[in-house]
Amino acid sequence: MDTRTLRDTFGRFATGVTVITCETADGTPHGATVTAFTPISLDPPLVQVALTRASKACGLLDGAAYAVNVLAADQVDVAMRFAGRPGTDPVRWRDGPTAPLLCGTAATVSCRPWRTDDGGDHLLFLGEVVEVEVHDRRPLLFHGSAFHHLGGRSADATWLHCADDPHSGWFDAATRFTPIPSASHF
């Protein structure tokens, strides 16, 4: 598999932009821009972050608490700074329940370590959600190697659950269907 083609294909999937924050051994806040963040489970409340094995943050997160800072649409400079581009404005930090948090985000998810798994050239950090905060700010998006802003709604339906879930979907697991005869049987 050609890695450039695979990377470009993965880039067709729009994601939110997060900065994963933790502390160094001396208590200094550290962060890394990450788009590979996934909500995993509601019960227990779990999220997953994938970090490249070569990153400093990957070494810091091993067995450590962390926070997922969902960046707001006006935080492109924050995303770039934690992706390695130096900035001139000071980083605005605040204390969080498990790890330092960034100010001005769309949301934060504070986690304690749950498990770390092999993810090829990445490590997958599963975290148990301890606390969340949601702010009235639109999120920053990433698609096709560029930052984007959330547009208007494309539908008026609200996604509340998966219709294929036997506990909350349209039909339960015991439902049986009878095929409708085709026109040729009439």
Q: Is pTM, for the whole model, over 0.85?
A: no
Q: Hey, what CATH class is 3-151 in? A: mainly beta
Q: Are 96 and 105 in contact (CB under 8 A)?
A: no
Strands 15-16 and 140-143: antiparallel
Q: Are 32 and 56 in contact (CB under 8 A)?
A: yes
Q: Are 20 and 32 in contact (CB under 8 A)?
A: yes
Note down pLDDT in tens along the chain; length 186 residues.
787 776 666 656 567 899 999 999 999 999 999 888 989 999 999 999 998 888 877 788 889 999 999 999 999 999 999 988 888 888 999 999 999 999 999 999 999 999 988 878 789 999 999 999 999 999 998 767 666 677 766 666 555 666 666 655 566 667 666 667 666 555
32 forms bridges with which residues in the sheet?
20
CA angle (95 as vertex; 92, 101 as ends), nearest 5: 55
Q: Where are the domains of the chain?
A: 3-151
